């Protein structure tokens, strides 16, 4: 039997969990399947795993929601999701021979005749088939990549080395060359904060794996958020006990950093940095986690300019240094730079106007 494969489609015309029945026909069959159906068939129907669950965070060290954004949008898989999916499949089929048989039967439909003849072991088949659903990176010497905290750790960083690099960025924005410890906090303190809300950190790497920028924000309980809005909160005051666990619900966030090296500020790197924040907010919304208010401590002139660019409103002077800006996410989504995030806007309108 010959198959023709189309991997750029948005919706499937044949549900592949029924592909064994279809494949009994002698005639040629065109198989079109969305990323959403691809993931759902593998995770739920064959492996019996949840589409969102703590197992991904605890066992595979990735976000518990890592696959939900792709299931919701049918986007091709990013590098982190691809690597996680391969590990999950291989780990699960190693434990269960029946699951292994089902996975290999399912994935056989995605292989060309040549691949069927040359690929014999499960690892190679999983590698090839899952990679067909991977977003193809642009080949460029100036490629800039967005990664999460634990993807960074998987590349040899530690949480401590990451924070030390962040401190260098923070020191670079002050006139004196050093930001006071009471303003930026301490490495051990920040390591604890990261562990509490690790999905709220993203890092920009250049083609050599060097950090060129990052952003992070923290969800805060109401009393701490009120203190931040009044300009009375410094980063050394941040602690796990003022940060809620982000289960489904509505939260207010304190933007602790949006940093980018000077030489990249007038390039598309800034857009990539900004869109990664909105992508994270969208991923949360798909899992019924919403952000109402945003508060930012604009420490420098560039921070003030960025706050204005994002549409945040000046609230007050900070008690130590700089200014405080705030805004509501549902209002910020009406800004021109959010024009392509139509699904996110709908999710927020449905949530806040219901």
Q: What is the DSSP string of 63-108?
A: -TTTTHHHHHH-PPBPHHHHHHHHHHHHHHHHH-HHHHHHHHHHHH
Contact 238, 185 (CB under 8 A): yes
Query: Is residue 155 packed enough to be buried (19+ CB in 10 Å), middle (13-18) or exposed (0-12)?
Result: exposed
Domain ranges of the chain: 3-131, 145-352
Tell me: pLDDT of 140 over 50: no
CATH dotted code for 145-352: 3.40.630.30
Write down the pLDDT at residue 223: 96
Write down the pLDDT at residue 177: 62
User: Per mean pLDDT, which range of 64-78, 208-222, 294-308 is the poorest?
Assistant: 64-78
Per residue in 83-127, pLDDT tens? Answer: 899 999 999 999 999 999 999 999 988 888 888 888 888 999 999
DSSP-assigned beta bridge partners for residue 220: 252
Tell me: pLDDT of 351 over 90: yes
What pTM, to 2 d.p., does this model score? Answer: 0.61
DSSP classification of residue 314? E
SS3 22: helix
């Amino acid at each position: 039997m010959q198959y023709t494969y189309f991997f750029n489609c948005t919706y499937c015309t044949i549900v592949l969990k029924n592909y064994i029945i279809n494949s009994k026909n002698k005639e040629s069959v065109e198989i079109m399947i969305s990323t959403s159906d691809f993931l759902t068939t593998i995770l739920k129907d064959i492996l019996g795993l949840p589409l969102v669950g703590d197992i991904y965070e605890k066992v595979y060290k990735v976000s518990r929601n890592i696959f939900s954004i792709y299931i919701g949008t049918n986007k091709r898989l990013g590098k982190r999701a691809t690597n996680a999916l391969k590990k999950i499949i291989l780990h699960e089929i190693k434990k269960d021979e029946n699951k292994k048989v089902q996975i290999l039967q399912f994935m056989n439909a995605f292989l060309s005749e040549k691949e069927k003849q040359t690929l014999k072991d499960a690892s190679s088949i999983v590698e090839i088939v899952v990679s067909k659903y991977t977003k193809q990176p642009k080949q460029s010497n100036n490629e800039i990549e967005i990664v999460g905290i634990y993807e960074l750790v998987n590349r040899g960083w530690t949480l401590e080395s990451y924070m030390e690099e962040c401190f260098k960025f923070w020191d670079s924005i002050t006139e004196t060359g050093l930001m006071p410890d009471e303003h930026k906090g301490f490495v051990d303190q920040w390591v604890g904060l990261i562990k509490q809300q690790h999905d709220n950190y993203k890092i920009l790497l250049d083609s050599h794996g060097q950090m060129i920028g990052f952003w992070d924000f923290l969800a805060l309980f109401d009393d701490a958020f009120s203190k931040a809005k009044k300009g009375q909160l410094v980063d050394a005051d941040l602690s796990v006990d003022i940060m809620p666990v982000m289960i489904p619900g509505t939260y207010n966030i304190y933007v602790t950093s949006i940093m980018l090296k000077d030489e990249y500020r007038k390039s598309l790197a800034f857009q990539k940095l900004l869109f990664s924040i909105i992508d994270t907010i969208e991923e949360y919304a798909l899992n019924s986690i919403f952000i109402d208010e945003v508060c930012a401590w604009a420490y420098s002139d560039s921070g003030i300019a960025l706050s204005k660019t994002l549409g945040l409103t000046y609230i007050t002077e900070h008690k130590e240094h700089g200014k405080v800006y705030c805004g509501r996410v549902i209002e910020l989504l009406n800004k021109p730079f959010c024009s392509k995030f139509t699904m996110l806007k709908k999710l927020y309108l449905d949530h806040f106007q219901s």
